[in-house]
Amino acid sequence: MKIGLQFAMPAELHALPGAKNLIPMETISGVPFYEIAPGLPACVGGISKVNAAMAAEILCLRFGVDMILNAGVAGCATDLPTGSLVIASDFVQHDVDTTAVGDPIGLVSTVNRAEFPTWEPERCVALLRELGVQAVTGRVATGDWFAVKGSRSRWIADTFRPTLVEMEGGAIAQVCLRNNIRFAALKSVSDHLFSDHQAEEYFDFGHALEELGKVVLPLALALQKEE
């Protein structure tokens, strides 16, 4: 199975051992693509849903991947410690709202669904366990808004019950669905939405990146061997 790795920020890619010295093998529509290991493309797609969707589509069409593994840091809507690893069980898009025409909250038109499942999350957790790494599964809510403590974060938490909130994964999941390829996501907790110290956490998320960087490539290589 050919895997494509997708990150939002350069710091997430650079968390992989030796990745800071990598030179892009190609840049398409402003998105740099790297060969992170033989036959294993990786890209830094950028922050937000449109950037993420564009990069994912290039991975599908230009690089012909069978699965995209999205890896990055994310804000936590629960009490998981910073650096905790989460395999996404499914994604929702909290900023999609066509309820005015009678749709359920979060329903994405054209694909006509609100929940975007990932590929065998429990299997991904098992693969990490075989690598000596502990992870949990949980829902991730995506939207073009950096989630901070306040009424909107509380609404997202109460409405969608996510473990994590971030800005890219739901868009990648939608692209993978439409291209009929597999999708998995590994996230590391960088900050906590309802903490009074969220800003300090986010701007000092070296621990979250460190925990992420240790396991992304081993997980991708393990997934390559799956049927």
Query: Tell me: the pLDDT tens digits for 176-209?
Result: 999 999 999 999 999 999 998 888 888 887 889 9
Q: What span, in angstroms and rounded, lies between the C-alpha atoms of 140 and 172? A: 12
Would you list the domain boundaries of the chain?
Answer: 3-224
Maximum pairwise Cα distance, the chain: 51
Q: Are 92 and 142 in contact (CB under 8 A)?
A: yes
219: CB partners within 8 A, 6+ apart = 69, 124, 127, 128, 131, 186
Q: What span, in angstroms and rounded, lies between the C-alpha atoms of 29 and 112? A: 28
**Per-residue pLDDT tens over the stretch 93-142:** 999 999 999 999 999 999 999 999 999 999 999 999 999 999 999 999 99
Residue with tokens 């990490």: 128
Q: Which two tokens stand for residue 65?
A: 């991947």
Does 200 qualify as catalytic in the annotation? no
In the three-class reduction of DSSP (H, G, I as helix; E, B as strand; rest coil), residue 42 is classed as strand
Query: For 3-224, CATH number?
Result: 3.40.50.1580
Q: Which two tokens stand for residue 8?
A: 């939002």
Q: Note the Cα 46 to chain centre separation in Å.
A: 12
Say whether pLDDT at 227 is over 80: no
User: What average pLDDT does this structure show over 28-42?
Assistant: 96
Q: Which two tokens stand for residue 224?
A: 């390559």
The residue annotated as part of the active site, out of 12, 166, 168, 211, is 12
The residue annotated as part of the active site, out of 90, 166, 168, 191, is 191
pTM of the full predicted structure? 0.96
- Cα–Cα separations (whole angstroms), residue 162 to 155, 177, 193, 210, 220: 11, 20, 11, 23, 24
Judged on CB neighbours under 10 Å (0-12, 13-18, 19+), 95 is middle
Query: How would residue 51 be classed by pLDDT, with cut points 50, 70 and 90?
Result: very high
pLDDT at 201: 84
Does 196 qualify as catalytic in the annotation? no
pLDDT at 11: 95
In the chain the first and final C-alpha atoms are separated, in Å, by 7
pLDDT at 217: 97
Q: What span, in angstroms and rounded, lies between the C-alpha atoms of 134 and 189? A: 13
Q: Are 58 and 52 in contact (CB under 8 A)?
A: no
